[in-house]
């Protein structure tokens, strides 16, 4: 049995940057004695979040829970004004918002300022999407499929931004539906390159694999998208969070087992899965 890893896969720049900023926050805590908190889960990887909690980082749902301390804004970003409001109350803020997410936020703000009705392609309720929506003003809707588009006046001017981890195929279908109905559609393709490259690499491996292992948090949007893409090419696709979840029955009669990992998955997690698979040969 041969183990084939998709390249690239695993932690992206935005995640690595967020983890580095938490290290900086812990260093600041050592100097000041202030408690480190993250606004929600820093990244969508339960194992990493648990390790941060064990190291002393408290997860809070709202900046309003803090009277003082150090607040790390998660990689998915925060609702508009949260960081500035926390700083105004004397809280030390480390903003780990992924630069690609920040770009989507600014695009939503700019298009909304032009008077456009904003369509956000993404998962409703996802923290990144909720943050982007807060920059899009009151005239906005979140959808995942063309069929979810509401009824618009045909003269409406439309703006479209995308959750950074959405698939290009889904974006293409939504754009086609909008342009079929409206003359003025401004599209900001804010899918990040790291997501696109990982999806392309995962599909390439899945097309030749007998089984596919996708590593990452089950609450991770980009990992879920990888699983969906791999399932389209390889029926025996399995989404796991750790090597301990691997079932030997998945590997029966496999000549090639593919491995990919979401953008919130550290290299150590990938190494552990590959070692487990290679030990099963």
Strands 117-121 and 140-143: parallel
Quick check: bond before 8 cis, omega within 30?
Answer: yes
* Residues 266, 262: Cα–Cα separation, whole Å: 9
Are residues 240 and 214 in contact, defined by beta-carbon separation less than 8 angstroms?
Answer: yes
* Residues 195, 106: Cα–Cα separation, whole Å: 19
Residue 128 designated active-site = yes
Structure tokens at 257: 């087992």
Which one of 123, 128, 241, 276 is the catalytic residue? 128
* Residues involved in catalysis: 128
């Amino acid at each position: 049995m041969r183990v084939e890893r998709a390249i690239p896969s695993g932690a992206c720049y935005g995640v690595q940057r967020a983890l580095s900023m938490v290290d900086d926050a812990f260093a600041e805590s050592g100097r000041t004695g202030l408690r480190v908190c993250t606004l929600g889960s820093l990244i969508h990887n339960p194992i990493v979040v648990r390790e941060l909690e064990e190291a002393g980082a408290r997860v809070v749902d709202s900046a309003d829970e803090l009277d003082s301390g150090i607040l790390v804004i998660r990689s998915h970003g925060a609702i508009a004004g949260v960081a500035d409001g926390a700083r105004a109350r004397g809280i030390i803020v480390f903003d780990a918002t992924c630069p690609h997410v920040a770009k989507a936020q600014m695009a939503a703000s700019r298009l909304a300022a032009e008077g456009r009705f904003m369509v956000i392609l993404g998962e409703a309720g996802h923290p990144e999407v909720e943050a982007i929506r807060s920059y899009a003003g009151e005239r906005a809707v979140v959808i995942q499929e063309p069929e979810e588009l509401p009824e618009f006046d045909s003269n409406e001017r439309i703006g479209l931004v995308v959750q950074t981890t959405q698939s290009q195929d889904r974006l293409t279908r939504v754009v086609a539906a909008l342009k079929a109905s409206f003359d003025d559609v401004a599209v900001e393709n804010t899918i990040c390159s790291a997501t696109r490259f990982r999806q392309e690499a995962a599909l390439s491996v899945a097309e030749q694999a007998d089984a596919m292992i996708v590593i990452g948090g089950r609450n991770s949007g980009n990992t879920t998208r990888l699983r969906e893409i791999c399932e389209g090419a390889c029926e025996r696709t399995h989404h796991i969070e750790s090597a301990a979840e691997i079932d030997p029955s998945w590997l029966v009669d496999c000549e090639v087992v593919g491995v990919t990992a979401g953008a919130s998955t550290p290299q150590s997690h990938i190494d552990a899965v590959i070692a487990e698979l290679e030990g099963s040969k």
